[in-house]
A and B are shown apart, each in its own frame.
Chain A
Amino acid sequence: MDTIDDAIATAEAEWRAYGVHRSDAATLAADLRSELESAAADGITPAQLLGGDVRGLARRLADEAGVRRTPRAYGRVLRTALVGALLGAALGYLVLLAVYPAMVRLVDLPRDVEVPILLAVLLYYGGAAAVVVVVGAVAAVRVHLRDLPGARSTGNAMSLLLPLAGVVVTPITIGFARSTGYSDSGPVVLAEVALVVAAVTGAVVLARRWALRDRDPRAITGTAEPGSPRAVA
């Protein structure tokens, strides 16, 4: 921490990790910068003024300023979504086994209608799989994390972004599988699973970020009496 900018950057990183809203963090940063610049004019460096624990100071400042925090909780949201998706997939698989005969009878295309096998598989199995995976992940986040601020809007964003991720990753995964001759060897299957998990992870993290964007834009305010100097910048 050599410069004022370094100290501010460290504090801002801590406020982000601490879930402080962007506008509140900007206010805190402006205040802190003003203090550091005043001290610098008297020859006092940020390290001399703040000591070594800028992150701890940043947290205390956020607590004392009374800003409301929304924990990002990416790890928690992601774990919950993945477990929900797996449970949804497992449940969907069981349902599919149960209704398979009925579906075969229901979708009885005339013999002269030719449907590409890949499209049929995608629509028949991929569509159902996508629905149960998305529903499982969204339901898990909305229900299991209902006490987490922004869980509902995160679930809403996931219901849009997870299908989009599926649309993107499905042809990639199929293309990869095709390039390996549809190998069922362990490494190939693992790579295919990794592609899907990466897509789900990206969609969930993006959904969480989207849900927290501009959330609770409450400015830090003071309660100074009328006529008295400004309470808080």
Chain B
Amino acid sequence: MTVTGTADAAGDGDRQTQLLRGVLDMCLLALLAKEPAHGYELVHRFDAAGFQPVGYGTIYPLLTRMRRLGLVADEMQASPSGPARKVYTLTDAGHARLRAWRQQWTHFVGTVDSTLTDSVPDSPRS
């Protein structure tokens, strides 16, 4: 019983990770679209949004890719305490890409929802 419960929990965690992996770039754009942020602040935003913990070692390479693709830009901003910080913001191309991905996601979620709803068996007959 305990073994099964632990295995189920591990399986749930893996599934969550796989699901997150597929939408991480889109969510990163969405979080940046709300407000520019520096790198590790994004980690906190993912936490605050309710995702499972996402490490900086995942976020930073992803930001690097987004910058290479021209979806995210950075600029140095003076900080009241400490050195100037690199703050990331969405470019126009990033906003456009986010709109496209959002539409795609909405359509996809609708399809998945209807599939799951259709799969619910009828209530048992007496």
**Known contacts A39-B40, A49-B40, A57-B60; A225/B91 CB under 8 A:** yes
Near A by CB (< 8 A), chain B positions 50-103 give: 55-57, 60-62, 64-65, 67-70, 73-76, 79, 81-83, 85-86, 89, 91-93
Q: Which residues of the other chain, B, contact A232 by a CB distance below 8 angstroms?
A: 67-68, 74
A231 engages B70 (CB within 8 Å)? yes
A38 engages B73 (CB within 8 Å)? no
Name A51's contact: one of B38, B55, B82 (CB within 8 Å).
B55
The tally of residues in A whose CB lies under 8 Å from a CB in B reads 34
Residue of A nearest to B43 (CB): A49
Q: Is the interface of B mostly helix, strand, loop or mixed?
A: mixed
Near B by CB (< 8 A), chain A positions 39-58 give: 39-42, 44, 49-51, 53, 56-57
B interface, how many residues as a size bin? 20 to 34
Q: Is the C-beta of A35 less than 8 angstroms from some C-beta in chain B?
A: yes
The answer for the CA separation of A49 and B58 in the assembled complex, in Å, is 11
Q: Which residues of the other chain, B, contact A231 by a CB distance below 8 angstroms?
A: 67, 70, 73-74, 91
Near B by CB (< 8 A), chain A positions 178-233 give: 220, 222-225, 228-233
A50 engages B56 (CB within 8 Å)? yes
The answer for the CA separation of A174 and B20 in the assembled complex, in Å, is 67
Q: Which residues of the other chain, B, contact A220 by a CB distance below 8 angstroms?
A: 68
| 1/0 contact string of A95-114 vs chain B (CB within 8 Å) | 00000000000000000000
Q: Is the C-beta of A122 less than 8 angstroms from some C-beta in chain B?
A: no
B61 engages A57 (CB within 8 Å)? yes
Residue of A nearest to B36 (CB): A229
B89 engages A229 (CB within 8 Å)? yes
The answer for the CA separation of A42 and B43 in the assembled complex, in Å, is 14
**Known contacts A41-B83, A56-B57; A222/B62 CB under 8 A:** no
Q: Which residues of the other chain, A, contact B55 by a CB distance below 8 angstroms?
A: 51
Name A229's contact: one of B56, B61, B74 (CB within 8 Å).
B74
Name A225's contact: one of B61, B64, B70 (CB within 8 Å).
B70
Q: Is the C-beta of A147 less than 8 angstroms from some C-beta in chain B?
A: no
Residue of B nearest to A224 (CB): B73
Q: Which residues of the other chain, B, contact A38 by a CB distance below 8 angstroms?
A: 38-40, 79, 82-83, 85-86
A sample of 22 cross-chain residue pairs with beta-carbon separation below 8 angstroms, ordered by A number, consists of A35-B39, A38-B83, A41-B79, A41-B81, A41-B82, A41-B85, A49-B56, A50-B56, A50-B57, A57-B57, A57-B60, A60-B61, A64-B62, A64-B65, A64-B68, A222-B67, A223-B68, A223-B70, A223-B93, A225-B91, A230-B73, A230-B74
